[in-house]
C-alpha cells in the first residue's frame, strides 16, 4: 500500500513539473524565431537537444550575432552538467540495453530533481519516466506553438520578443541562485568576465570565457 502511494505521488510530481515547465517551450519557440531560426529548425532543436538552458543560450548567442561554433560550444558546456546527473542516476534507474540512450536523453534538471525526491527506487523510476514523458511532449508542442505563432509577426523584435530568451533563461536559473550563496558568487564572477570581454571579442566567445569560473569550483 505504501509503495503504491509513493508511486502515485511520483506520478503526480512528474506530471506537475513536466506540464508546468513544458509550457515555457512557448518562450523558446518565440526566442528561436526571433533569433533567425525557422520554425522547423526550432522544433528540431527541441526534439534533439531537449535541455532548455542550453537551447536558450544557443539562440541568445545567435541572436547577438555570435558565431555558430561558439554558440554551440557554449550550449554544450551548459549541457555538460547533465552528464553528472546521469552518473548519479545510473544506479538508481538501472536502465539496460538500447533503452539507456533514450533514458540519457531525458536526464535534465527537472527529471533529476523529481527522481531524487522519491523515497524508494521504484517510485524514483516512476517519477523519472513520468517527468520525462510529460515534459518532452509539452516542451515540444509548446515550442511549435511559440515558433509558429511568432513567425506570423513579421519582425518579432518590434514587440520586444527579443528579450524572451534572456528573461526565460534567468527565470530557469533564479531558483537555484536564490537558494545558494556560492552559486550567486559563481554567477557574479561569470557575468563579470563576460561583460569585460564583450567589447573586445566576437559575440558568443565571452560566454565561453565566463565558463572558466566553473573550473575554479570543480577543481576546488
Instruction: Name the maximum alpha-carbon separation found in the chain.
Output: 63
**169 vs 97, higher pLDDT:** 97
Number of folded domains in the chain? Answer: 1
Task: Look at residue 199 and tell me if it is in a domain.
Answer: no
Please check whether residue 83 lies inside any domain of the structure. Answer: yes
- In the predicted model, is pLDDT for residue 18 greater than 60? yes
Determine the Cα–Cα distance for residues 201 and 215; give it in Å rounded to an integer.
21
pLDDT for position 219: 60
Higher confidence at residue 124 or residue 152? Answer: 124
Which range has the worst mean pLDDT, 23-27, 163-167, 173-177?
Answer: 163-167
Q: Tell me the pLDDT tens digit for each residue of 31-80.
A: 888 888 899 999 999 999 998 878 888 887 787 776 777 778 777 877 77
What nine digits make up the cell of 169? 533563461
Residue 168 — pLDDT band, cuts 50, 70, 90? low
All cell numbers assigned to 174: 533564479
Q: Has residue 200 been placed in a domain?
A: no
- Residue 146 resides in a domain: yes
**Percentage, residues of the chain above pLDDT 70:** 80
Query: What's the pLDDT at 216?
Result: 65
Residue 216 domain-assigned (yes or no): no
Q: Which of 74-78, 88-92, 109-113 has the lowest mean pLDDT?
A: 74-78
Q: Percentage of the chain surpassing pLDDT 90?
A: 22
Residue 194 lies in a domain: no
Residue, of 129 and 202, whose pLDDT is higher: 129
Q: Which domain holds residue 47?
A: 2-179
190 belongs to a structural domain? no
Q: Is 191 inside any structural domain?
A: no
C-alpha distance from residue 50 to each of 102, 111, 132 (Å)? 12, 12, 10
Amino acid at each position: 500500500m505504501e509503495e503504491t502511494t509513493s508511486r502515485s505521488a511520483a506520478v503526480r510530481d512528474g506530471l506537475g513539473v513536466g506540464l508546468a515547465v513544458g509550457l515555457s517551450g512557448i518562450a523558446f519557440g518565440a526566442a528561436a524565431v526571433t533569433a533567425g531560426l525557422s520554425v522547423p529548425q526550432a522544433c528540431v532543436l527541441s526534439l534533439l537537444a531537449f535541455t532548455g538552458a542550453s537551447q536558450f543560450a544557443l539562440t541568445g548567442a545567435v541572436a547577438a550575432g555570435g558565431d555558430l561554433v561558439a554558440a554551440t560550444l557554449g550550449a554544450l558546456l551548459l549541457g555538460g552538467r547533465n552528464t553528472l546527473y546521469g552518473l548519479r542516476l545510473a544506479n538508481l534507474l538501472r536502465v539496460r540495453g538500447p533503452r539507456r540512450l533514450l533514458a540519457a536523453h531525458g536526464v535534465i534538471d527537472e527529471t533529476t530533481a523529481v527522481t531524487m525526491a522519491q523515497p524508494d527506487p521504484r517510485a524514483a523510476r516512476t517519477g523519472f519516466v513520468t517527468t520525462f514523458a510529460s515534459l518532452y511532449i509539452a516542451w515540444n508542442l509548446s515550442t511549435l506553438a511559440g515558433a509558429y505563432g511568432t513567425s506570423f509577426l513579421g519582425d518579432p523584435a518590434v514587440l520586444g520578443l527579443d528579450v524572451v530568451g534572456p528573461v526565460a533563461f534567468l527565470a530557469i536559473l533564479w531558483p537555484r541562485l536564490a537558494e545558494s550563496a556560492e552559486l550567486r558568487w559563481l554567477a557574479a564572477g561569470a557575468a563579470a568576465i563576460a561583460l569585460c570581454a564583450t567589447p573586445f571579442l566576437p559575440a558568443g566567445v565571452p560566454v565561453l570565457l565566463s565558463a572558466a569560473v566553473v573550473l575554479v569550483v570543480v577543481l576546488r
